[in-house]
Copies of this chain bind each other. A is one copy, B any other.
Amino acid sequence: MKDFASQNENYELRVRESFSKQNLMKTIGASLTRVLPGEVDILLKFRHDLTQQHGFIHAGVVAALADSACGYAALSLMPPDAAVLTVEYKINLLSPALGESLLACGKVTKPGRTLTVCSGDVFALKDGEKKLVATMIATMMSVRGKEGMID
């Protein structure tokens, strides 16, 4: 994995401010942990109100975490006037999302002026162990000059 340079020296502040505006992340209780240039982690404590019919965390929540981690990994490299939008992603669910918490790690694979491609891995944490439960490839888009979209 290469190291990337951000085009925004205040990249961490920017990512944290944008994350704090994501109401869904508040609703599900997710928090932003690590923020590096091109690399962002999001943590979620297990909650019963986020499960599917077998008691695992719903794939939609797993995907929302990975998608947000990827989106903010992309945003962390963008210039201050750019907003980030998810174009598309693909996720494979590898194991039941069970445990004390979920950790989603988003990393930039290839940054670009318009499109940035990221990979996301989601781990279930339990008893100090880390198990890969999902893996994602996501395409993010840098959008400029759209009123109301500055993060």
Chain A residues proximal to chain B, CB less than 8 Å: 18-19, 21-24, 26-27, 48-55, 58-61, 63-65, 67-68, 83, 85-95, 109-110, 114-115, 117, 119, 132, 135-137, 139, 141, 148-149, 151
Considering only CB atoms, which chain B residue lies closest to A149 in the complex? B54
**A63-B64, A64-B61, A137-B137 in contact; A53/B93 too (CB < 8 A)?**
no
Contacts of A48 in B (CB 8 A): 23
The 10 A-B residue pairs with the shortest CB-CB distance in the complex, in nearest-first order: A60-B64, A90-B90, A24-B58, A21-B53, A88-B92, A94-B110, A27-B49, A23-B51, A18-B53, A59-B86
Of the candidates B54, B55, B63, B137, the one whose C-beta lies within 8 Å of that of A83 is: B54
Shortest C-beta distance, A105 to chain B (Å), equals 14
